[in-house]
A and B are shown apart, each in its own frame.
Chain A
Amino acid sequence: MDQDALIHDAQRGDVEAYNALVLHYQNQVYNVAYRIMGDPDSASDATQEAFISAYKALNRFRGGSFKSWLLRIVTNACYDELRRRKRRPSSSLEALYVVDEAPDDPSLSSSSESPEHYTQRMELQQAIADCLQSLPEDQRVVAVLSDVQGLSYNEVAEVVGVALGTIKSRLSRSRAKLRDCLQGFGELLPAEFRQDS
């Protein structure tokens, strides 16, 4: 994929070229939104909003990392949605009765995995996700970008738009809180984690 050519064409209004970029990045963008927001519907909304906003603002992209630029837009979309939630907290009846379901991914339920192991794995996944959601927003965003998505400190600073020292501080605090939170799920954790803690 010639990304620069696609960006150039998309900047001239070629939607098909832009859609090629969307298809390339939508998995990562959606997963960032999903880990920040904590639910698939909000993550979908934030992702769609981010891709539309990015298309409209494409002429303002002046080079650099297109991935970081996209992740910054989706992160801001998540922040906006979280602020809206704070202003208008709401809970639907449907949400009260929804039981978290495992993502519909074939890889998560391979035939070689025993049901017991699959259940333990899903519970651990849920425990980690719950601990992530317990973090303050700023720390959660940094933890998702750095530890879940594997971005470097500089990339995280570029996406979040704050100084490198602030990123280091937020990441340090988030990891300390996550460690304490995860220790509460001792029986779910791998042996090495229980021994270390």
Chain B
Amino acid sequence: MDEQDFIRLNEYLDDELDAQTRAALEQQLLGDPAMQADLDSLRATVALLQQLETVPVPRSFTLDPAQYGRKQGFFDRLAALIGPAPTAALSGLAAAAAAFVLVVSGAFLLPATETNSVFAPAADTLSSQAEESDTVIVTQSSPPEEDMMEAESAEGPRDDSLEDEADMGAASDDEAADEAPEEDGEAASVPESAEPEATPPASVGTEEPSIAQNRQLTPTPLPTPDVLIVPDEPELESNRILLPAAGLVAAIIGVIVFAVVRQRL
């Protein structure tokens, strides 16, 4: 007898066969004494197993309410006070409040990322002051790590840095004149904090000339423009990520608060 026949015998014994298969097997059993003997031995084995007596539990397995019971908190008392009927209304109210918070936070945060309103006035101020002080602003994207300190100083309080840089430029006019030929035709006087390999200007200093334009300015004899290196606002780039992330975090917190309130109620 193969395994499939033995499985079918067990199914027959446990009344798990459909009527047609059961009838066919009974016909087979009539002409197969060995199969009938297997069935009888299986039946006796199952009967023995069913004789195994139930063992009484040695102790109670109930849990200690002091250890596992949930303490009555504010929401429990509130739910008991208001009863089950207004629970749905309160849940809906909580959902509406959560949605309101999400919409308001989204409306507040998203425009700031779109218009760069935080940084645009600073850039305009820089441009106008640069024009007044005859300073050329060169944008620099991704300053090298070793120059991050200087770059950060350039990104500090815009007015102060502008003045500082202008002072530096004025103080180093003579030096710049001497160093200019050594910098492959770099006409502008560049403080040491600036890299000559500055990339073309990015979005912020929209009205400032590019490096190529600066190089075209090289032959200009007087006045020698002071070049102010303004990094390409890495803070702005990071805020484009951080502000939507903050909105997302606010949304998640709102959903969690709503879920907790709903669960408690």
Judge if B129 is at the interface, Cβ distance under 8 Å: no
Instruction: Give B43-89 interface residues, CB cut-off 8 Å to A.
Output: 43-65, 68-70
B70 neighbours in A (Cβ, 8 Å): 12-13
Judge whether A35 and B14 touch: CB under 8 Å: no
Interface check B11, CB cutoff 8 A: yes
B68: contacting residue among A55, A104, A132, CB under 8 A? A55
B34 contacts the other chain (Cβ, under 8 Å)? no
In the assembled complex, how far is the CB of residue A88 from the closest CB belonging to chain B, in whole angstroms? Answer: 24
The interface residues of chain B lying within 8 Å CB-to-CB of A52 are: 63, 68
| Chain B residues with CB under 8 A of A179 | 41-42, 44-45
**Which positions in A face B, CB cutoff 8 Å?**
12-13, 15-16, 18-19, 22-23, 26-27, 29-31, 34-35, 40, 44, 47-48, 51-52, 55, 103-105, 107-108, 124-125, 128-129, 132, 143, 146-148, 150, 152-153, 168-169, 171-172, 175-176, 178-179, 182, 189-190, 192-193, 196-197
Q: How many A-B residue contacts, CB cutoff 8 Å? A: 120
Q: Are A168 and B62 in contact (CB under 8 A)?
A: no
Which residue of the partner chain B has the closest CB to A50? Answer: B61
Q: Are A31 and B54 in contact (CB under 8 A)?
A: yes
B residues near A196, Cβ cutoff 8 Å: 37, 40-41, 43-44
Q: Which of A29, A44, A176, A197 contacts B58 (CB 8 A)?
A: A44
Chain B residues with a Cβ under 8 A of chain A: 3, 6-7, 10-11, 14, 16, 37, 40-65, 68-70
Q: How far is the CA of A196 from the CA of B62 in the complex (A)?
A: 45
Q: Are A148 and B44 in contact (CB under 8 A)?
A: no
A120 to B89, CA, bound (A): 68
Verify A40–B58 contact, CB threshold 8 A: yes
Q: Which residues in A have their C-beta under 8 angstroms from that of B49?
A: 128, 132, 143, 147-148, 178
Q: Which residues of B contact A143 (CB under 8 A)?
A: 49
B45 touches A178 (CB 8 A): yes
Question: B62 — which chain A residues lie within 8 A by C-beta?
Answer: 19, 22-23, 26
Cross-chain contact B55 with A175 (CB below 8 angstroms):
no
Residue numbers in B under 8 Å from A29 (CB-CB): 61
Least Cβ–Cβ distance between B264 and chain A, in angstroms: 10
Complex CA gap A16/B40 in Å reads 48
Within the complex, which residue of A40, A132, A197 is in contact with B41, where a contact is CB–CB below 8 Å? A197
Pairwise interchain contact A175-B42, C-beta atoms closer than 8 A = yes
Q: Is the CB of B50 within 8 A of A148?
A: yes
Structural contact, A168 and B48, CB atoms closer than 8 A: no
Question: A13-B70, A193-B48 are known contacts. Are A30 and B55 too (CB-CB below 8 A)?
Answer: yes
Could you tell me if A103 and B55 are in contact, using CB atoms closer than 8 angstroms? yes
| Contact (Cβ within 8 A) B57 A172 | no
Residue in A31, A104, A153 whose beta carbon sits within 8 Å of that of B16 in the complex: A153
Contacts of A192 in B (CB 8 A): 44
Residue numbers in A under 8 Å from B68 (CB-CB): 15, 52, 55
Given A13-B69, A179-B41, residue A172 in contact with residue B50 (CB < 8 A)? no
| Bound form: Cα–Cα A15–B48 in Å | 39
Q: What is the CB-to-nearest-CB distance from B43 to chain A, in angstroms, rounded to a whole number?
A: 8
- Asked if B6 contacts A51 (CB within 8 A), the reply is no
What are the residues of chain A within 8 A of B37 when measuring CB–CB? 196
Partner of A172, one of B10, B53, B54, B60: B10
Closest residue of A by beta carbon distance from B68: A15
Q: For A19, what are the chain B residues with a Cβ–Cβ distance below 8 Å? A: 62-63, 65
Shortest Cβ gap from A114 to chain B (Å): 17
- Tell me the smallest distance from the CB of B227 to a CB of chain A, in Å: 66
Q: Which of B3, B6, B7, B61 contacts A26 (CB 8 A)?
A: B61
A47 adjacent to B44 (CB under 8 Å): no
CB nearest to A173 among chain B residues: B3
In the complex the two chains form, is A168's CB within 8 Å of B61's CB? no
A–B pairs, 15, beta carbons within 8 Å? A18-B63, A35-B52, A104-B56, A108-B53, A124-B48, A128-B48, A129-B52, A169-B3, A169-B7, A171-B10, A175-B10, A178-B45, A193-B45, A197-B41, A197-B44
Given A23-B62, A146-B14, A179-B45, 14 more contacts at CB 8 Å?
A15-B63, A26-B61, A27-B54, A30-B58, A35-B52, A51-B61, A55-B63, A125-B52, A125-B53, A128-B51, A168-B7, A175-B10, A178-B45, A197-B41
Interchain CB contact (< 8 A) of B57 among A27, A148, A150, A178: A27
